[in-house]
Amino acid sequence: MAKIVCVLYPDPVTGYPSHYARDGVPRIEGYPGGQSVPSPHSIDFTPGHLLGCVSGELGLRTYLEGLGHTLVVTSDKDGAGSTFARELVDADVVISQPFWPAYLTADRIASAPNLKLAVTAGIGSDHVDLQAAIDAGITVAEVTYSNSISVSEHVVMMILSLVRNYIPSHDWVTKGGWNIADCVARSYDLEGMTVGTVAAGRIGLAVLRRLKPFDVNLHYTDKHRLDESVETELGLVFHESASSLVEVCDVVTINAPLHPETEGLFDDRLISKMKRGAYLVNTARGKICDRDAVVRALESGQLAGYAGDVWFPQPAPPDHPWREMPHEGMTPHISGTSLSAQARYAAGTREILECFFEDRPMRDEYLIVNGGRLAGTGAHSYTPGDATSGSQGTMSF
């Protein structure tokens, strides 16, 4: 029998919910482009319930224990003495989420000789040292597309919040004020602006589609150029590089995976090429941006605003400068873990486990590493290497 270690974020401070704001979530039959939603044999949870925290357990306990497996669920993930580190040494499967990542560094992989499968409940497997996984013959899989639309909606919300100066305006109201001049002194219309995305995969393309009705000029860069029909449909302008893109954009949104080619991409040099007063939105990965370069750009006015829900490491330490920098619209990493998204990535995690335990092939789009090489989505989106360095500095709260 197998041992599965599942690392999830902590329960709400008020306790696991006894009721919810809505009675359920809409059923989604498929994704744009024709990919079907996760299709496990069955599920043991209620869609719309909180599944991504410790008590939610991704709805997996009944299924796994019914097969005789051992399931360990914890939020204690950081440091040599953490529950995750202790339980990892004889684990066969590790499940983690991008929002509260269990960083699988090369050292941790070396400490887990039984480890055969690392599952990302969601999308984005950069918290795994992919090169070390390749070398160790570990399969890495994620629930591709499960929360892509969730993230794209969050991106549009953040763009509008920055450009329209929503958060400071809301703060004036909660403080009892009616400070219209203070609110609108940094408020603009998005209409007519030039918006560009760094990467136009599932999330980036969904962002472009959602922005089209705002009558903006849309630009993109990606190592895989979109079909001409899509460019014509959306009126897209393609750029060979991020450097070319940022020079013409009023708003830049980052929707690329983190790997050695994108790590630290938005540094002082690249940000200096952006229009003065541009906005930068990052719901991809915090490590794609140089932490201190972003702060400097906001303080100097080179950037008019920065919003995102991704940090490095995660959870971000209390003294992380993005918590207090000016003109920010930061949230914890929540864009892809709405209750709607959780129902899909929990079902997808169950589907991946069913394939693993029944020795059936996993969907190609779920695979990141398989058979000692990048595979499936991993071969399309990543480059070999390690983006986990520095994660040893994480803290638990």
Q: What is the pLDDT of residues 86-129, one digit of tens each?
A: 999 999 999 999 999 999 999 999 999 999 999 999 999 999 99
Rounded Cα distance between 124 and 99, Å, is: 10
List the catalytic residue out of 154, 285, 327, 363. Answer: 285
- Active-site residue 255, yes or no? no
Q: pLDDT class for 391, splitting at 50, 70, 90?
A: low
Report the pLDDT value the prediction gives residue 369, as an integer from 0 to 100: 97
- Active-site residue 147, yes or no? yes
**Are the CB atoms for 362 and 138 separated by under 8 Å?**
no
Query: pLDDT tens digits for 261-274?
Result: 999 999 999 999 99
| Residue 315: burial class (beta carbons within 10 Å; 0-12, 13-18, 19+) | buried
Statement: residue 394 has pLDDT above 80: no
Q: pLDDT class for 392, splitting at 50, 70, 90?
A: low
Statement: residue 395 has pLDDT above 50: no
Q: Pinpoint the residues of the chain covered by CATH 3.40.50.720.
A: 3-146+337-374, 148-330
Other C-beta atoms closer than 10 Å to the C-beta of 359 total 6
Query: pLDDT tens digits for 196-207?
Result: 999 999 999 999
What is the crossing angle of helices 166-174 and 148-163, to 10°? Answer: 70
Report the pLDDT value the prediction gives residue 287, as an integer from 0 to 100: 97
Average pLDDT, integer, range 223-229? 96
Query: pLDDT tens digits for 137-192?
Result: 999 999 999 999 999 999 999 999 999 999 999 999 999 999 999 999 999 999 99
- Please give the structure tokens belonging to residue 390: 């520095």
Q: pLDDT class for 257, splitting at 50, 70, 90?
A: very high
Query: pLDDT tens digits for 13-58?
Result: 999 999 999 999 999 999 998 999 999 999 999 999 999 999 999 9
Q: Which residue has the tokens 């499968």?
A: 117
Report the pLDDT value the prediction gives residue 397, as an integer from 0 to 100: 33
Report the pLDDT value the prediction gives residue 396, as an integer from 0 to 100: 39
Report the pLDDT value the prediction gives residue 195, as an integer from 0 to 100: 98
List the catalytic residue out of 108, 127, 202, 333. Answer: 333
Report the pLDDT value the prediction gives residue 386, as an integer from 0 to 100: 79
List the catalytic residue out of 97, 147, 165, 302. Answer: 147
Average pLDDT, integer, range 278-287? 98
Rounded Cα distance between 91 and 39, Å, is: 26
Average pLDDT, integer, range 227-243? 98
Rounded Cα distance between 387 and 365, Å, is: 21
Query: pLDDT tens digits for 59-96?
Result: 999 999 999 999 999 999 999 999 999 999 999 999 99
Statement: residue 388 has pLDDT above 90: no
Q: Which residue has the tokens 């005789």?
A: 68
- Write the CATH number of the domain with boundaries 148-330: 3.40.50.720
Residues 6+ apart with CB under 8 A from 329: 158, 161, 162, 166, 167, 305, 306, 307, 308
- Active-site residue 86, yes or no? no
Class of 3-146+337-374 in CATH: alpha beta
**Are the CB atoms for 220 and 238 separated by under 8 Å?**
yes
List the catalytic residue out of 131, 255, 282, 314. Answer: 314
pTM: 0.95
Instruction: Annotate the chain with three-state secondary structure.
Output: CCEEEEECECCCCCCCCCCCCCCCCCCCCECCCCCECCCCCCCCCCCCCCCCECCCHHHCHHHHHHCCCEEEEECCCCCCCCHHHHHHCCCCEEEECCCCCCCECHHHHHCCCCCCEEEECCCCCCCECHHHHHHHCCEEEECCCCCHHHHHHHHHHHHHHHHCCHHHHHHHHHCCCCCHHHHHCCCCCCCCCEEEEECCCHHHHHHHHHHHHHCCEEEEECCCCCCHHHHHHHCEEEECCHHHHHCCCCEEEECCCCCCCCCCCECHHHHHHCCCCEEEEECCCHHHECHHHHHHHHHHCCEEEEEECCCCCCCCCCCCHHHCCCCEEECCCCCCCCHHHHHHHHHHHHHHHHHHHCCCCCCHHHEEEECCEECHHHHHHCCCCCCCCCHHHCCCC
- Active-site residue 333, yes or no? yes
Report the pLDDT value the prediction gives residue 131, as an integer from 0 to 100: 96
Query: pLDDT tens digits for 307-350?
Result: 999 999 999 999 999 999 999 999 999 999 999 999 999 999 99
Report the pLDDT value the prediction gives residue 264, as an integer from 0 to 100: 97
Q: State the average pLDDT for the chain.
A: 96
